[in-house]
Amino acid sequence: MTSRTMKKVGRRDSSAPSAPRKRTRRQIRFVFVIPATLFIAIFSVYPLIQLLRMSVSDVTPATLGSNWDFVGFSNFSKGFAEGTLGTVLSNTLVFVGIVTVLGLIGGLAAAISLRGSARGTGLLLGLMVFIWALPPVVNGSVWKFLLGNTGLFNSMLGLSGASPIGYLYNQHLAIFSVAIVNSWAVVPFNALVFRAAILNIDPEIFEAAQLDGARPFQEIRYVIMAAVRPTTLVLTVLTVVYGFRSFDFIYVMTYGGPGTVTTTLPFLSYVEAFVRYDFGLGSATAVITVVLVIVLAMVYARSVRREEREL
């Protein structure tokens, strides 16, 4: 081995991190992970364990502070036997579908319209952030007033001589009305994320498309849609999860009515546990919701890993 080769080997060895240094870095990372792990264990894992225990037990206000009798899967079968759980599950799927489709289409359309630096863009972006940050209880109360029998929309219809429409009381319109309001609340978040993805597109790509004679619609279809495809996948999963856990708007606007038309799984769990005081049945319904959300979270994590590999 020549002296020049020995120098190169020595230089390479000196630049490579030593084994003790690697162990030190792992220990430092482990120390930083501990607080987050404890927080999740206390405020997420332990409540989930208690929820699972409660879902397979007979828990009432009288037995809440004592030992719970194990009943197996009778709470789950009871929900389906009553006929409520199947109907509510279909309501949830319809609700989530409307929120997801309208939330993604509205968010992408808003992001495309706000991708430039035209006058008023900053004001519209600020307004969207305000809508997204507005508490759902306040948001739902405003929309309940607007969609009520004597609200703004029906008052405008009354001026034209038309009969008022029961947006929140008609059994065919109620779930669509609440889902559209939920979509309106999630559009700002999707628009901001879509806009960030669009702004990351190289301007030279748009210039090349314009030189090739691409029209605005073709530019949106072949340039923007292709560039935001990974973002669309992630936002789809997040919007679906948002739809599954929606509770505030339903509670404020319709309280699950008329009947059970707008009752979804989270709201049904609330009614069973805190209105009927059947904590076991309410926990079983909540477990079904948690399982669905966990499946979606796994899909989200897989899509994020795939996107990172593509980058």
CATH number of residue 203's parent domain: 1.10.3720.10
User: Is 101 found in the same domain as 43?
Assistant: no
User: Is 48 found in the same domain as 159?
Assistant: no
- Mean pLDDT across the chain, nearest whole number? 86
User: Is 105 found in the same domain as 28?
Assistant: no
**102 domain residue, yes or no:** yes
Where are the strands (E) in the chain, listed by range? 57-58, 69-70
Beta partners for residue 3, in sequence order: none
User: Is 132 found in the same domain as 41?
Assistant: no
Mean pLDDT confidence for 280-304: 85
User: Is 170 found in the same domain as 95?
Assistant: yes
Give the pLDDT of residue 78.
87
Q: What is the pLDDT of residues 191-202, one digit of tens each?
A: 999 999 999 998
Give the pLDDT of residue 216.
83
Give the pLDDT of residue 14.
47
Q: Check if the beta carbon of residue 192 is closer than 8 Å to that of residue 130.
A: no
User: Is 173 found in the same domain as 28?
Assistant: no
Number of domains in the chain: 2
* Lowest-confidence region among 13-22, 48-57, 89-98, 219-228: 13-22
User: Is 293 found in the same domain as 184?
Assistant: yes
**258 domain residue, yes or no:** yes
User: Is 81 found in the same domain as 43?
Assistant: no
Whether residue 261 has pLDDT greater than 90: yes
**304 domain residue, yes or no:** yes
**200 domain residue, yes or no:** yes
Q: What is the pLDDT of residues 206-248, one digit of tens each?
A: 888 888 888 888 888 889 998 998 889 889 888 988 998 889 9
Share above pLDDT 70 across residues of the chain, in percent, rounded to a whole number = 91
User: Is 107 found in the same domain as 207?
Assistant: yes
User: Is 141 found in the same domain as 44?
Assistant: no
Identity of residue 136:
P
Q: Which domain holds residue 259?
A: 77-310
Mean pLDDT confidence for 102-122: 86
> Which uninterrupted H or E stretch holds 7?
helix 3-15
User: Is 149 found in the same domain as 189?
Assistant: yes
The confidence band for 279, taking pLDDT boundaries of 50, 70 and 90, is: very high
